[in-house]
Amino acid sequence: MALNSGRDVLFVATAEARDGEMRRRIEEHRKMRPSGWTTLEATGQLGEQIARNIGRSRTVVIDCVTLLVSNVFEEHAGSSDLEKEVMAEIEGIIDCTRQAEADFIIVTNEVGLGIIPGDRVSRLYRDILGRANQRLAVHADEVLLLVAGIPVTIKKG
């Protein structure tokens, strides 16, 4: 979608290299990105960081909300306000989409389709990510679900 936009693209990468395997994944993703795209590596406060770095970009790709939520969980481990912290991030993104003169492509994972996780933190993560995805979807013009690489329209604007 971003490749076909013909516009300047700001790619926002939310992954944090916490171990060697993740560092390798991040490096592979960097190699796959078009050289003409501007990359912003940001693990939190995305709305503010995008607003400061958007420049002339008219397409913004956020990849991905799933890791952003994981970053919030890591930063606020043990806090009783995890959902509040996650939703503050999501609202920051939504505010940015309203103010920026750009199209946003926001990548996330649907983790609620599998089995219910066996531990409390994983269940909490799945539930909070699900609510974050719902909040973003309410404000999106279009929502697509990729199944085996095939886009399925969930919401059409």
Domains of the chain, with CATH numbers? Answer: 3-155 (3.40.50.300)
pLDDT in the model for residue 157: 81
125 closest CA partner among 138, 108, 140, 137: 108
pLDDT in the model for residue 78: 85
**How many whole angstroms separate alpha carbon 57 and alpha carbon 37?**
9
pLDDT in the model for residue 49: 97
pLDDT in the model for residue 59: 95
Tokens (6 digits) for 96? 């940015």
Q: Answer for the pair 72, 27: CB distance below 8 angstroms, yes or no.
A: no
Q: Which residues of the chain have pLDDT under 50?
A: none
Active site residues: 29
pLDDT in the model for residue 124: 96
Q: Answer for the pair 82, 72: CB distance below 8 angstroms, yes or no.
A: yes
pLDDT in the model for residue 69: 98
**How many whole angstroms separate alpha carbon 157 and alpha carbon 85?**
29
